[in-house]
């Protein structure tokens, strides 16, 4: 009897600890309480190691801020910064001052107006563009990926980076400690012995000991000579070329950028380099003059647990809230927070054309079940869901009216918005918007629309599994 009483007291103390520490985030609180209820002791151990509030690490956040402040004035002076809505090429923004002001104040990265972009729609096209840019490097190559594999394409990237390092080009590489934990030591050692500076971002074991395993660097960045940059959904691995039989054809979206937006992509890399290596680099030579060949307006938004604003989530919410004609979303994982869920639902009920493409074939069963738990209510509100049939769709794209299109690393889920280090490019001009629309329409042709009636008739076991995963969704 005594041990039962002690166990009950311990259980109550664990629940109180979660309530006191997570009361600002009700959805996470419910998820952790559910885990504690199912696994009382194990659940609290998981909470201890995974739920540390990264935002309390003020020293880490201030490091990035100080780094930015030392080059902020230089960048704002060199870049063609858009300061007023009247300067936007799209005249619709003249009637959306609130959205423009939101975007202008979300991030230390402004909207810049001297850029050219190219939308890349699969791994083969993206890798060819990246490798070509790296082959032409004269000064430096900065590379950052969540996943970097030691397979055929990974070795090809390695060979190019090592060759350029031996030619005197400064090559720096960051890989996420958990996403790239399978990298062979010999593969990493070859980088280091050949002159490539390599660092893991939050190595897996250190993340466990420091209780930061839940915060991953999900960004994908390549910057060459400070003039051309790449970002989007594609990591480095043969699976992104469709060579994994389990997933088949891999549909993704990446972006090549030239112009002033690269300044701010570079700044994100240097911030992450400081956190990964401890080395503070303030070298204005990494931000060379651009010979402007394009006039596209682009904004680079970064978000992460070390920042005061959830910039990407705020951008999504703000743009969805002002939609009048369409909201088109492509995402491999659809686990929206309560605000975004209600914004999407309200838009659909109001007559906005809301279409969401998700994978039919999922790389995570738990995440797929959690995603489906949100579908029925949104279907009833008028949202149309499509399951991609050609293979696995991993693109992260948002299109709102003719106002904005975004391409980046962030999924439409709570992990991307509130836990991971993410990166997104917001596009405003007609040409890249038309390309995103064209790609979305092509993806629709390769998708199957979810029928409301059939979806409601799914089995009780399926519904129960969805409910279970819904409870865990803030942590997936």
Residue 401 is among the residues annotated as catalytic for this protein: yes
User: Alpha helix locations (H) across 107-237?
Assistant: 123-135, 152-166, 185-193, 204-209
Q: Of 28, 96, 199, 220, which one is the catalytic site residue? A: 220
Structure letter (DSSP) for residue 421: B
Given the DSSP bridges, would you call strands 221-224 and 140-145 parallel, antiparallel or unpaired? Answer: antiparallel
**Residue of 78, 368, 396, 413 marked active site:** 396
Q: Residue 225 catalytic?
A: yes
Contact present, 250 and 125 (Cβ < 8 Å): no
User: Which residue is catalytic, options 28, 140, 164, 218?
Assistant: 218
Check: CB of residue 324 under 8 Å from CB of residue 95: no
Helix (H) or strand (E) holding 231: strand 228-232
463 is catalytic: no
Identified catalytic residue from 28, 78, 199, 225: 225
* Buried b or exposed e, range 33-55, using 16+ CB within 10 angstroms: bbbbeeeeeebbebbebbbbebe
Give per-residue burial for 140-156: e unless 16+ CB within 10 Å, then b: bbbbbbbbbbbeebbee
Catalytic residue (choose from 176, 394, 429, 439): 394
Q: Is residue 278 classed as helix, strand or coil in its secondary structure?
A: coil
- For 168: left if phi > 0, alpha if psi spans -120 to 50, otherwise beta; the answer is left
- Catalytic annotation on 394? yes
Q: Which positions ≥6 away from 163 have C-beta within 8 Å?
A: none
E strands within 368-453? 384-388, 391-393, 397-400, 404-408, 412-413, 422-427, 447-449
Cα-based distances in Å from 147 to 161, 197, 219, 249: 17, 17, 9, 18
Q: What are phi and psi of 388, to 5 degrees?
A: -70, 130
Q: How far apart are CA 476 and CA 50, in angstroms?
A: 12
CB 417 within 8 A of CB 253: no
User: Beta strand 111-120 with 254-259: parallel, antiparallel or unpaired?
Assistant: antiparallel
Does residue 454 have an active-site annotation?
no
Active-site residue (options: 239, 401, 413, 443): 401
- CA 296 – CA 298 distance, rounded (Å): 6
Catalytic machinery residues: 218, 220, 225, 394, 396, 401
């Amino acid at each position: 009897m005594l041990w039962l009483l002690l166990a009950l007291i311990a259980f109550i103390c664990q629940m109180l600890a979660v309530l006191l520490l997570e009361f600002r985030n009700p959805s996470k609180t419910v998820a952790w309480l559910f885990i504690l209820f199912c696994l009382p002791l194990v659940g609290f151990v998981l909470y201890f190691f995974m739920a540390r509030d990264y935002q309390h690490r003020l020293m880490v956040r201030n490091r990035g801020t100080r780094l930015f402040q030392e080059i902020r004035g230089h960048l704002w002076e060199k870049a063609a910064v858009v300061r007023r809505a009247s300067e936007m090429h799209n005249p619709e923004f003249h009637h959306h001052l609130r959205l423009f002001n939101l975007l202008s104040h979300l991030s230390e990265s402004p909207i810049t107006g001297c850029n050219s972009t190219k939308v890349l729609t699969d791994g083969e096209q993206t890798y060819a563009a990246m490798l070509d840019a790296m082959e032409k490097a004269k000064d430096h190559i900065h590379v950052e990926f969540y996943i970097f594999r030691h397979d055929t394409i990974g070795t090809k990237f390695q060979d190019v980076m090592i060759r350029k390092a031996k030619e005197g080009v400064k090559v720096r590489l960051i890989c996420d400690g958990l996403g790239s934990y399978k990298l062979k030591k010999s593969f990493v050692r070859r980088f280091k012995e050949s002159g490539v500076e390599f660092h893991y971002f939050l190595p897996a074991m250190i993340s466990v000991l420091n209780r930061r395993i839940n915060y991953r660097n999900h960004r994908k960045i390549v910057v060459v000579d400070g003039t051309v940059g790449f970002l989007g959904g594609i990591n480095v691995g043969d699976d992104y070329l469709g060579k994994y039989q389990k997933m088949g054809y891999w549909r993704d979206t990446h972006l090549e950028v030239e112009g002033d937006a690269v300044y701010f992509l570079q700044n994100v890399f240097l911030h992450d380099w400081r956190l990964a290596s401890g080395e503070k680099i303030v070298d204005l030579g990494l931000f060379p003059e651009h010979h402007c060949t394009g006039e596209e307006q682009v904004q680079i938004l970064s978000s992460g647990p070390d920042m005061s604003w959830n910039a990407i989530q705020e951008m999504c919410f703000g743009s969805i809230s002002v939609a009048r004609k369409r909201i088109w979303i492509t995402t491999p994982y659809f686990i929206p927070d309560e605000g975004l869920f209600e914004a999407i639902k309200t838009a659909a009920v109001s007559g906005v054309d809301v279409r969401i493409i998700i994978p039919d074939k999922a790389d995570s069963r738990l995440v797929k079940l959690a995603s489906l738990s949100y579908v029925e209510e949104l279907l009833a509100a008028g949202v149309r869901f499509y399951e991609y049939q050609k293979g696995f769709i991993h693109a992260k794209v948002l299109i709102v009216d003719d106002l904005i299109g975004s391409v980046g690393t962030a999924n439409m889920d709570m992990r991307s918005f509130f836990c991971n280090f993410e990166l997104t490019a917001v596009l405003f001009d007609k040409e890249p918007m038309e390309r995103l629309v064209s790609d979305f329409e092509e993806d629709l042709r390769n998708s199957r629309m979810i029928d409301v009636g059939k979806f409601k008739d799914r089995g009780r076991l399926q519904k129960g599994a969805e409910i279970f995963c819904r409870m865990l969704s803030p942590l997936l």
